[in-house]
Chains A and B, each alone.
Chain A
């Protein structure tokens, strides 16, 4: 059965204040209900005032996914009762959203359609003290209520969990690139619902739509979609019918469970928000925002391949994070274009593993780009071998010193003096007659043992190429 997935992605806009009131929007982790005011707690008599910066970021996001902002869009009330909704309606956009069709290009070149981009406010957070005797109730924190969100709705064009994963990753990169959001899923800055259906190969149209909620990580998206694909395929294989319904994903069990059926679906009774005039965008402003857009991941990826001769894989790794790509380009700018491949390798292996190990963002790297460029210079001019370079890099990370300082202080310097290396080679050959015999007998692999012995004697400092050459000369 073929899978068709559409993602509805909610993203916090990185504004200083909330969408309709001046309360701080970066309230994650603060004392509950300390970033609130009469407006975002839904007191009688309050009115919303639209945050211009939120509109700017939303327009930027729309442009970044190729969705043209409408000149006029309309806010609407989405009516439903829930205790995390202070007004019991959410101010959103419905019939006339901020922007219409766009698309996101996946790393493999496939374009996924974006149906719409609209602005809305976030709800508060409920804390359920389930089973608590002292506190037999639920608590609500309105710090998050009113934080600006955009919702980006894709067409149901994602054909596999992996593709959905790739789309989400690409979307996240695009939004981070243009400074719309940090998209930290752990902080709920990026949230995702999926519309999932299956249909037989070659069938026209889509199967019954199941909405899957509670996808709180990239992993959850992949797992939930794989589960739903299996589940719906099995239902149809048994001759059953997939019920259009809303299901909840449980990350622990890896399963989805029914939440509500179509009959129980809310009638949100949308109508235009009378407290806000239609949002009219000045075309000149939109143009200015368009001009201010940075280079986005896909074009940057293409440029890295073209300009620096990187492999698509390396280009993909480097451009997944705007700061990482920027780091790469700083290194290349300092070390020269010829070291681009080396830079990509060092960043992709040593730097990223250190960053991941210590859960640091690129900007938190303890080896700045200029220092890595110096290291590449030392590798280039033969002062360091690759092996020594790794050792020096590790020391740079620990101490923050420059590679030249570390080389000077520790003597971690490649020995390229022929007589000195020759002495080690001679000693090694004398101590390993069996390997020498093998090598003479045509077993090329035996050279490895000799090289290893030389490196051991030289404490890793002998120039490996020179060692290879001297062994070859002596065997001949």
Chain B
């Protein structure tokens, strides 16, 4: 089995007129049709629309028009990103039947770049989860081991990319939801600096933490995806103005002279030894490529899980209030008064994990508890951010594991707290608003990929990509097809 084409190669060949976007899209849709049933990465494919979009790219090429950077590249969207005219359910029963009335900002950018959107991918309900087991529809399987979860909440996007069904997918990352499934599925996943990518049209989970990010099989494809979706959007007041940089150029240049810190709090006792070894091995690879390693400390890391699981549910409790059965989405039948309509619609529409978090957040914001929970969590968040500010005075990047252990089996983390605790290494990046990338750095003896996380100071993705790229060049990522081919 040959490796599927990268996004870069597809766009280059389509632009050069060597292949037609339509045949790329057709091949992609065939692959999804043939191989997705064993994985269930997709909740929906848009075959006819994708083929038509691809033919439009071909027509543009035939007319001699300049094609965009993702010319003819099939892209999958996590199902919390709005695509006009297409159902968007966010893995939830409560949005069943809801058809997006507008395109998300990232979708507009993909379309403008001549990408071909082929489908929507499965996810934990409203992006709340780390395994995609909390999808209201079905779980997605990990292509490396179908008995195991693909991670989450962008598990569908990660599995689709890992299985070679698409070269590029978008996910969303509120506490690790791009990076952790990327690690579990052995692909690259990038969480942009908060404010780099517009959140307009991303269904909000926790507004101060959410970012859309790319998943791809190579660092250059992730960089390409990021460069397309980045940029100021006046419709998102938290999007950063004046970001006019050539990310692809900035990602060149290797990692010689870059100072990379390894925070001791991210290598605790009890960390899976194979994970620890793989990530420390990645550090050695980077050092061999010219980076300087440094031991650092981020002392407030231990508050990250508690702070996150106050702040994110608090924001979510308000963000999800609009799903009430009144204007759109699921409405419970036969209810006679307003309160019972709300209760029944939300009661049957939301799954247990979403309800748990809405209750957590509602509680944390309640009169008498607000100071003790929400305000303290915000204080902890400031301390965590200050840790990073301090660290980035002496290092350029920070290297850590993505997850304390590789992909787990379905049902293995039935205790929600166990699931939350496993997010410990990815949450701080969101709390501090940094950029972070997950790159495959090894495979365990049982054949599961391990991810290393690099984090950069805000808007330092250029450096992040430089280091990730030189690592990739020095130690090619393990490939699923190599594994399946024996």
Residues in A lying within 8 Å of B, measured CB to CB: 38, 41-50, 77, 79, 81, 83, 86-89, 140, 267, 269-271, 274-277
Contacts and interface: CB of A to CB of B under 8 A. Distances in A.
B367 to A, nearest CB: 5
Interface stretch (B181-189, B320-328, B419-427): B320-328
B101 interface: yes
Contact of A45 (B200, B327, B338): B200
Contacts of A79: 317-318, 321, 365
A269 B102 CA distance: 30
Nearest to A268: B367
B449 to A, nearest CB: 31
A274 B208 contact: yes
Interface of B: 80-82, 88, 90, 95, 98, 100-102, 104, 199-204, 206-208, 234-238, 314-315, 317-318, 321-322, 324, 326-328, 338, 342, 362, 365-367, 370, 374
Given A38-B102, A274-B315, A49 B237 contact: yes
Contact of B199 (A47, A88, A269, A277): A47
B236 A47 contact: yes
Contacts of B328: 43
A276 B318 contact: no
A43 B101 contact: yes
B102 A50 contact: no
B335 to A, nearest CB: 11
Max chain B C-beta neighbours (<10 A), residue from A41, A45, A46, A81 = A45
Max chain A C-beta neighbours (<10 A), residue from B88, B98, B321, B338 = B321
Contact of B365 (A45, A49, A86, A271): A271
Contacts of B322: 42, 44, 86-88
Contacts of B199: 45, 47
Contact of B200 (A41, A47, A86): A47
Contacts of A277: 237-238
Given A79-B318, A86-B322, A275-B238, A44 B367 contact: no
B164 to A, nearest CB: 29
Nearest to A39: B235
A89 B366 contact: no
B192 to A, nearest CB: 17
B366 A45 contact: no
Given A89-B321, A274-B208, A49 B95 contact: no
A186 B256 CA distance: 71
Contacts of A274: 206-208, 238, 315
A49 B234 contact: yes
Nearest to A88: B321
A14 B125 CA distance: 41
Contact of A275 (B88, B237, B366, B370): B237
B91 to A, nearest CB: 13
A222 B207 CA distance: 44
Contacts of B234: 49
A269 B202 contact: no
Contacts of B208: 274
A275 B82 CA distance: 18
Nearest to B81: A45
Given A45-B202, A79-B365, A275-B207, 16 more contacts: A38-B102, A42-B327, A43-B102, A45-B100, A45-B199, A46-B201, A47-B235, A49-B234, A77-B318, A81-B324, A87-B318, A87-B321, A271-B374, A274-B206, A276-B238, A277-B238
Contacts of A38: 101-102
Q: Does more than half of chain A's interface fall in helix, strand or loop, or is it mixed?
A: loop
Contact of B203 (A44, A87, A270, A276): A44
Contact of B104 (A45, A83, A89, A269): A45
Nearest to A81: B342
Contacts of B95: 44
A19 to B, nearest CB: 12
Contacts of A50: 237
A89 B82 contact: no
B305 to A, nearest CB: 20
B338 A46 contact: no
Contact of B366 (A48, A49, A269): A269
Contacts of B324: 81, 83, 88
Contact of B88 (A42, A44, A81, A270): A44
Contacts of B81: 45
Given A43-B101, A45-B202, A83 B326 contact: yes
Contacts of B367: 267, 269
B353 to A, nearest CB: 18
A49 B102 contact: no
A50 B236 CA distance: 10
B321 A81 contact: yes
Contact of B204 (A41, A45, A88, A276): A45
A83 B366 CA distance: 22
Max chain B C-beta neighbours (<10 A), residue from A41, A83, A86 = A83
Contacts of B342: 81
B195 to A, nearest CB: 10
Nearest to A43: B101
Contacts of B315: 271, 274
A52 to B, nearest CB: 12
A42 B326 CA distance: 11
A89 B206 CA distance: 15
B201 A45 contact: yes
A48 B365 contact: no
Contacts of A44: 82, 88, 90, 95, 98, 100, 203-204, 322
Across the A-B interface, give the 9 residue pairs with the lowest CB-CB distance, nearest first: A88-B321, A274-B207, A269-B365, A274-B208, A44-B203, A45-B201, A42-B322, A267-B367, A87-B322
Contacts of A83: 324, 326, 338
Contacts of B98: 44
A35 to B, nearest CB: 16
B374 to A, nearest CB: 6
27 contacts: A38-B101, A41-B327, A43-B101, A44-B88, A44-B95, A44-B204, A45-B203, A45-B204, A47-B199, A47-B235, A47-B237, A79-B321, A79-B365, A81-B321, A81-B324, A87-B318, A88-B321, A140-B326, A267-B367, A269-B365, A271-B314, A271-B315, A271-B365, A274-B207, A275-B207, A275-B237, A277-B238
Given A45-B104, A79-B318, A276 B237 contact: yes
A273 B326 CA distance: 23
Max chain B C-beta neighbours (<10 A), residue from A47, A49, A81, A89 = A47
A267 B366 contact: yes
A235 B202 CA distance: 55
A408 B423 CA distance: 94
Nearest to B203: A44
B200 A271 contact: no
A459 B234 CA distance: 73
Contacts of A42: 322, 327
Nearest to B210: A274
Contact of B370 (A47, A89, A271): A271
A4 to B, nearest CB: 25
A87 B322 CA distance: 4
Nearest to A275: B207
A81 B358 CA distance: 14
B310 to A, nearest CB: 11
Nearest to B88: A44
B336 to A, nearest CB: 10
A298 B370 CA distance: 43
